[in-house]
Each structure stands twice: as C-alpha cells, then as structure tokens.
Structure 1
Amino acid sequence: MKNLIPNLIFLGLALFGSINSSAAATLDLGTTQIKPMDSVQFMEDPSGQIQYSDLDRADIASRFQPWLVERGDMNFGYSNSAYWLKIKLKRAAQAPARWLLEIPFLLLDEIDFYAPGQAVLHLGTTRPASNAPYFHRFHLMPLDLSTEEQTFVLRVRTSHSTTIPLQVWQPDAFGNQSQKQFILQALYFGGLIALLIYNLFLAVSLRDARFLFYSLFVSHIGMGMLAGNGLGHLFVWREWNAFEPIAQSFFLSLATGFGLLFSNRFLQMRRETSKMARFNEWAAAVFFGIAAWLLASLWLDLDRQSVVVIFSLVCIPAGLTVLTMAWRAWRHGYKAARFFLLAWGVLWIGAFVAVLRGFGWLPTNGYTSYSLQISSAAEMLLLALSLADLIHTERQERENAQAMALSSHQRMLESLRLSEERLEIAVQQRTRELEQSLNNEKQTLTQYVRFGALISHEFRNPLGIVESQISLMRKEADLGTLNVTKRLDVIASATQRLLSMFEKWLRSDRLNKSLQDFRLQPIPLAAWLRELIDSQMSYHANHQLTLHMATDPGEIWGDDNLLEIALINLIDNACNYSKQGSQIHIDVRSQASMIGIAVTDHGCGIAAEHQTSIFEDYFRIAPEGRVRGMGLGLAFVRRIVDMHQGQLDLVSNIGVGSCFCIWLPSQPKTAAQT
C-alpha cells in the first residue's frame, strides 16, 4: 500500500506524457525538405536552470507539450525564458542517412543542440563563429538519421523575439535553395546600392540635404537587412560576436531616425504639419538614443530587450505621423507627396507586420519573416520615383519662371538681336582663327616633344653603356684585373654611336621639319645590314649577333637613318631581355612585294595580353625591372614602320623568346601620315 500512491502518480504522468507525445516524422527517399512541426514538443524554462540531464525526470518530461501546426513556425515573442525542444525523426530504409536541420532565423543568442551519440553543438550569435559546423548565414546543424525513431533536443534562449522556425533538408536540395536565396538577396542589395550611389550623386551635385538624408536612410535600412538576414554576421563582422545581437536593432533605429528627418525635409515642414514635424524630430532623437543605448550595451551592463521592445512599439505611431503629414501635404496640393505617401504606407505595413510577428501575435511564415525586407524594397523604389517626380516638378517650376522672365525681356532682346548676330559672326570667325592657330601650335609642340623623346631615348642607351663600363673599370681596378682595352673599345663604340646620331640628326635639320618629311632612297640591304650588325658587335659584346640571308635581297626603299634607329631598338631590346651569351638572330625574309627584317631572341618572351600595349608610348611591362628605359623604343619602331607604309609583326611566347619582323615595300611608296 505504501507504494500505491507513487505508482499511481508515475502512471498518471506517463499517460499524460503519452497524450502530449508527438509521432516521429519519417523522411523517405522522395523528401527534399520538411517542416517537422507536428513532430516537435517544447517546454518553457523561465529560470533557465534546467540542464539536459534533467529532461529524463518525470516532472520535467511532463512539461513538454506539442506545438500546434496551425500556428505556423514556432514563435514565443519576447521572453527571457529558455525553451527546450524535442524533435522526433526517423528515415525510411531507402532514404539517405545525412540530413541538415536549419533554423532560418539569426537573432538567437544561445542554441544548444543535442544529437544522439554526437557531441553537443553550442551555437548562437553570442557564441564564437568557429563553433558553427557550416559556413552559412543562419543556424545549420547536421542530422545523422536512423531507421529507428531518434529524439534531437534543442535549447534556445535570446534577448530578441524567440522565433524558432525549423526545417529539415536533404543537403543537395539545401544547397540549391541557398543559391536561389543568395541570388534574391544579391538582387535586393544590388538595387539598394544602385539607389544609394545615385542619390549620393544627386546630394553632392545638387547640394540638396533631402537626398543626403534619403541616402543615410537607405544605407542603414540596407545594413539592418544585412544584419537580419545573417549576411552581416557572415561577411562583415563575423568575428565580432558581441555586436551581432544588437546589429539589426541598431541599424534600423538609425534608419528610422534618418527616415523621419528625411520626411520632414521632403514634405518641407509645411505650416499645417509643423506640429507633427516637430514630433518627428523628437521621435528621431529617441531612435538615435536607442541606437546609442544599444551600442553602449556592448561595454555596459544595460537592458537590451526592453529597449528593443520600445523601439518596436514607437515605430508604429511614428510611421502613422509621417503618413498623416504626407496625406495632408498631398491634400494641400503638394503633388510630390503622392508617391511618398504610397511608399511610406507600404513600409509602414511591412514594419507593422514585423512588429506583430516579433511579439508572436501573428504566425511566423515566409511573408511575415521577410515583410520588412519586402516592403523596404518596394518603399525604396517608390521613394526613388517620388524624388524623381519632385525633381521634375521643381524643374518645371523653374522653367516656367524662366519663361516668364524671358517674355518680359523679349522686346529688349529683339532690339539687340541684329547687333548680337553681327558680333557673334565676328566672334565665331575670330574663334576659328584662334583655334586654327592653337591647333598649329599644338601640332608643332607635339612634333618637338616626340622628337625630343626620340633623341632622349636613343642617347640614353649609349650613355648607360659608358656609365656601366666605367663602373666595371673601377671594380676591375680594385681587383687588379683591369681590362682597359676591352672597356675602352666598348666605350669608344658607344661614343661613336652617339657621335653618329648627333651628326645624322643635327645635320638633317629635323628640328624644323616633322618626322613625316623623311627621305626615301634605295638602300642596298645586304651591305647595309652587315655594316649595321658589325657596328653593334662591340656594343653588345655579351651576345652573339648573327645575320642570315639566303640570297641577296637587293635594294629596299626607305630612310636609312630612321630604319637604323628602328633596327637598333629591336636589337637593343633583344639583348636587354635575353641571357648573356645567348644568340640574337637577324634574318631577311620576303613575301609578295614585301621584304622583311626579323630580329629573334631566346629571352623571357612577352605575354599575349601585353603584345598590343608594348607599342604604345611610355608603356613598360615591368617599370621597376632590371632593364631601364622609358617605354618609347617600340613606339618609335611602330611609327617608323608606319611612315614607310610597312607592317610590324610579333610572335612571342613566355619563356621561349620573341621575334619582331619589319616588313617594308620593295618598291617606293608615298609616306604615310602618322
């Protein structure tokens, strides 16, 4: 008898538990995603002291009760309690064992996940991001299911609205759905960024504070959405866990404050709405204060949940005040308020739905969860139309005022018209003369600059050789291995090259003529090439210059001075970008009515993406490389070849070498204009 009462109590608790128990959700092969709400039991823990090991106690187990599916996703509103959830799952024999459990709501401070035979996962916005088993914007946990019923346990606690939507996914289906969601988010934030940039541009260009406040409003709305959707925690402040619990409320508080100030500016604080405008200013100060309070709570022990509740409640009357102001402004003839009224109405409805869902007074589903983001997208588009309409209206008013001013001065303008026309004709004629003179001066200056650059480039290499040989002589003198004859021969060759160029350029009177006025003459190519190569031997003593001609190419027509500059530039480049001791091949080719002079090296080669740019003035692939220069040599070669109406071919591969071939007409032609 003494055990009868305890046994009856235990039996009653067991029967009550069986009544409240939920059947396990069975996942078969065809299932890709389910919401297992009919397989979930929950228990509220106001003290937050219950441990996982306590759940097997009869008095604790009896407190679990099933969630009503018709209430939608699980939402307990704002509460300081911890909530325990039991989820019963199993799979069909043909179904895969690995699944994913998703809680698509970020603002949960603490989530403890207990899976049979697995280590406990401690997730949530106040926990380190490294605890999460998956890199995802929401909370994601692995499920290893058996064909037997298993119970998975969640403990959730948060300072925000306790919303716990549950979804079980096949991994592949979850990946596809995540991609679609990221695309939608990218479209939303892409449009938001475009609006932000456009309105910032208008704010700067028009010096209009309305566009500045609108830009601040849009940017903070966007940051609030970024925080609420988990993208901010994922990409922006991932390692700053302390900021995540306040991020959305912080940015939305600032957005609401800037939105109220923008409303006052946009509606121009008319006399009939001045009291409400002042209320908006006070409300904006309150929202800025809420943002400051939330930010200070990162370092001070301040109550966050009460402030978030106050923010949610104050949003509603503040939004109604703005709607009333816009309605009155529109009724008093302010046409720009029509789009504004519609935009703010859409946003207010979305915010109202979000507040009711946050308190648990509306069921949680896809629309109520994203109502604020959906309404903000429509609101920002409508506000952009409203601002465009405002600009159009103000422009029309300015144009009307200008038309009236022009009309009042019409007779005076008519009397001055003839004299203005005569003056305009004279000014235009003089302007054309000045422009022509200026163009002539510019062309002359350009020609001198190009010529000076050509002279500088051609003289730089010989001077560099002289400098390097002097440096080598000093080093050899210090080492006692001075090779005076060799060094002086190289210096003499470089000096001879300098003297030759001075003689050629100064004697040809190029300073008074453009580079287009060159002199065509027959050049015996074989003898000319041998003489040129022989003159370069000592200048490039560390390379082997070889000349190949299958037959005597005969004569070509061209300016020997300019062609010498072009060929020397190609030989210099081949030596500069090849290893010492390597061969530089110069060979003569022919095709149709063209004769080609090719310079081939076995150096570093030129990447395909640079093979067009290297012929531009001052372009260098590696400006800080070991080879000094100004990036003019190949530009001069290209210009000289064009003047001869020839063509310049390049074949180059990285690590193999380069081949530059100058093709020249075998018969004289008129010089091309460059």
Structure 2
Amino acid sequence: MFRKTVINLTWQYSILLIGLVGLFSVSIYYYMNRTFASNYESNITSDLQHSDLEHSSIRQRDIHNTVDEGLDELQAGLLIADALVVLIIPIVSYQMARRALRPIQVSYETQQRFVDDASHELRTPLSIIQGELELALRRPRSPEHYQASIAASLTETKALSDLVASLLLLARGKADQVTAQFQPLNVYQLMTRSVRATRTAAPDVASRIHLNTPTNLTVMGSSALLEQAIKNLIDNAVKYSAVDTPITVAATSHNADIIITVTDQGIGMTDEEIRATSRRFWRAEAARNSPGHGLGLALVRQIIKLHNGRIDIKSTVGKGTTVTLVVPQANPHHS
C-alpha cells in the first residue's frame, strides 16, 4: 500500500520538478538570446554611426559569430544540466516521498498492531462468555451449575469492561479536553482512594499494602486518571509478588515535582523487559499465567505523559520492582 503511494508521489514530484527545471532553463535561454540580440543591434547601430562600412561589416560578423557561439555553449550547458537533473530528480523525489510518508506509515502500522492486539484480547473473554452460556443452555442443569456459569460469565464481563475502559483511556490519550479538565488534587487523597480500591477488590491483600505519604502535597491533574495510574501500579505489585511480602506506596516532594513510588518484593524484571513495558499488550514471560491484558503500564505511561510527567522503573529479578512516577506539583495559587 505505502510502496505504491511512494511510487505515485515520486512520479508526481519528478514531473513537477522536471517541469520547473525545464521552464527555468528555457527562460534562461530566451532571456540570454534576447539580451545578446539587443546588444548586437546596439553595437551595429553604433558601428554604423562611427565607423566605415567595411570595418562595420567585419565587426558585425565577429559579434554575430560570438553571439552564436555563446548561445550554442549556453544551450549545450543547459541540456547537460537538464539531463543530469532528469537523472537525479527521481532519486531525490523518491527519498522525499518516503520521508513525507514515513510518519504516516509508522502511525498506520502502530494503529494496525493495536487493532489486531485489541481484537485478540476482546475475542478471548467474549469466547469464554459465549462458551459458558452455550454450555448452560445445552441441556437442563442444576442450579449450582447455572450459578457457576453465571459467575464465570460475570468474571469475564468485568474483565472485558476493564479492558474496554483501558482502551478508551489509551485512545483519548492525546485529547485536549482531558488536560482542559485538570484541577488541583490532594496527593494523599488520591493515593488513599487508589489503595482502598485495591483493598476492596482483593481483601486478602489489604494488610500487605502500606501507605506512606504526607497530607499536604498537591498536584495538577485528573483525579480519575491519576487514581487509575496508581491503582494499576498497586495491582501489578500485588499480582507479581508473594502473598507474604509487603507493598509500599509512598509520595514525597522534590523541588517542583511530586514523586510517587510503588515498591514490591516480587519476581522483578530484566532490563529488556523494562524497556518492553512501553508496548501495549506486552507481558513478561513470568507473568503469562497471571490475569491481565498487558495494558497496565502502557496506560500508566500514557496518563503520566498527559500530566507532563515521567515514569522510571528499577527492578531486580527475584528481588522486586520500584516504579516511580514524577509529576509537577500544583502551583501555590492553585492549591
């Protein structure tokens, strides 16, 4: 698709540029021709006024020959230059077309990969729900079996709902209306709500999560998005660490930034895996059997980018991971 477009653009660029060069060459030739002819006539008139006829005739012949030779040389030079241009322009045009289309191609390929991955991830829970419902309807079953089928379908429906919500957040990541709704937020309240959401969803891990943050820190942003980012980090820490290990959620201020950290003592990641966390739907080998879609850290990165912040991941395999979010503090007059 893009190769054909590049070739078409190359032809268009080439025809346009060759036409312009040809027009420029013809203009130069005719301009010089008229200039020489005008000077030639002036010299003839001057010679007729100040010289005898024989001397004037010889001089006219010399000037005429000189003009013809000059125009012939100019014509030859222009033809050689145009021939070189005709050879060079298609190459230059091809490179220009490739460079012009490269950002579009990268964006298109990224979008295609995203759509393909999203389609796959959406298909999995839908297939499970469909299978459970078809199995339940195949023949009469006990109430317990129906209850189990409904429970399984409900679990997959919740997972599907979370996935769709994540995809929507990623899709609107560049929307101006998101940043237009930023407001001053208390960091302690943000983190408390995020921790509470995780504890509510998984009561058995409540005692593992330790919150350590001052109550007077403020940040400018979206409450829903920042809570989502912090919750994603806590959820990852819960998933990929042992049930008897602590998870620390902390916040401090440094210069004009708020620094939020989530630390676990879990399976950890290699440097290569850390670099891969920016890819949507990517999951580490050790995490393949854990629930999730591989969107958590991609979402966090997108959210923090919207807040003009940055994310840093430090991890050691077998010892744990610390994820640090750095976002600008709210201005004092906003607090």
Which residue does 1:622 correspond to in 2? 285
Which residue does 1:295 correspond to in 2? none
Match status 1:529 vs 2:191: yes
SS at match of 1:519: helix
C-alpha displacement of 1:603: 2.2
Mapped contact 1:447–1:515 kept (Cα < 8 A): no
Mapped contact 2:242–2:266 kept (Cα < 8 A): yes
Mapped contact 2:257–2:328 kept (Cα < 8 A): yes
C-alpha displacement of 1:414: 8.1
Q: Can you list the C-alpha shifts for 1:36-81, whole angstroms capped at 9, x where unaligned?
A: xxxxxxxxxxxxxxxxxxxxxxxxxxxxxxxxxxxxxxxxxxxxxx
- Structure number with the higher helix fraction is 2
The match for 2:80 among 397, 417, 433 is: 417
C-alpha displacement of 1:509: 7.0
Mapped contact 2:166–2:299 kept (Cα < 8 A): no
Match status 1:445 vs 2:108: yes
Q: Can you list the C-alpha shifts for 1:335-375, whole angstroms capped at 9, x where unaligned?
A: xxxxxxxxxxxxxxxxxxxxxxxxxxxxxxxxxxxxxxxxx
Partner Cα distance (1:457, 1:571) in 2: 26
Map 1:325-364 → 2, pairs under 5 A: none
Mapped contact 2:233–2:297 kept (Cα < 8 A): yes
Partner Cα distance (1:586, 1:492) in 2: 29
Match status 1:664 vs 2:327: yes
Mapped contact 1:454–1:636 kept (Cα < 8 A): no
| Alignment CA distance shift 1:517-1:416 (3 Å) | farther
| Alignment CA distance shift 1:497-1:416 (3 Å) | same
Map 1:273-422 → 2, pairs under 5 A: 417-422=80-85
Match status 1:543 vs 2:208: no
Larger-Rg structure: 1
SS at match of 1:439: helix
Partner Cα distance (2:202, 2:153) in 1: 14
Partner Cα distance (2:224, 2:80) in 1: 60
Moved more, 491-500 or 432-441: 491-500
Counterpart amino acid of 1:522? Q
Counterpart amino acid of 2:183? P
Mapped contact 1:574–1:601 kept (Cα < 8 A): yes
Mapped contact 1:615–1:635 kept (Cα < 8 A): yes
SS at match of 1:551: coil
Match status 1:603 vs 2:266: yes
Match status 1:434 vs 2:100: no
Match status 1:497 vs 2:162: yes
Q: Which has the higher contact order (CA 8 A, sep 6+)?
A: 2
Partner Cα distance (1:594, 1:455) in 2: 34
C-alpha displacement of 1:595: 1.1
C-alpha displacement of 1:622: 2.2
The match for 1:519 among 179, 199, 210 is: 179
Q: Can you list the C-alpha shifts for 1:431-483, whole angstroms capped at 9, x where unaligned?
A: 3552344124214315524754896799799x59x87xx79xx9xx8999x78
C-alpha displacement of 1:665: 1.4
C-alpha displacement of 1:661: 1.9
Map 1:49-60 → 2, pairs under 5 A: none
C-alpha displacement of 1:587: 2.8
Partner Cα distance (2:105, 2:158) in 1: 38
Q: Can you list the C-alpha shifts for 1:178-201, whole angstroms capped at 9, x where unaligned?
A: xxxxxxxxxxxxxxxxxxxxxxxx
Partner Cα distance (1:540, 1:460) in 2: 26
| Alignment CA distance shift 1:543-1:422 (3 Å) | same
Partner Cα distance (1:577, 1:419) in 2: 67
C-alpha displacement of 1:577: 1.1
Q: Percent identity over the alignment? A: 21
Mapped contact 2:174–2:306 kept (Cα < 8 A): no
C-alpha displacement of 1:515: 7.5
Which residue does 1:154 correspond to in 2? none
C-alpha displacement of 1:666: 0.9
Mapped contact 1:522–1:557 kept (Cα < 8 A): yes
Map 1:105-504 → 2, pairs under 5 A: 417-424=80-87, 426-427=89-90, 430-431=93-94, 434-446=97-109, 448-449=111-112, 452=115, 463=125, 494=159, 497-498=162-163, 500-501=165-166, 504=168
Mapped contact 2:184–2:218 kept (Cα < 8 A): yes
| Alignment CA distance shift 1:542-1:488 (3 Å) | farther
Match status 1:589 vs 2:249: no
SS at match of 1:434: helix
Partner Cα distance (1:572, 1:637) in 2: 12
| Alignment CA distance shift 1:550-1:572 (3 Å) | closer
Which residue does 1:379 correspond to in 2? none
Q: How many aligned positions are there? A: 242
| Alignment CA distance shift 1:491-1:426 (3 Å) | closer
TM-score (norm 1): 0.28
Mapped contact 2:197–2:231 kept (Cα < 8 A): no
SS at match of 2:285: coil
SS at match of 1:543: helix
Partner Cα distance (1:528, 1:459) in 2: 30
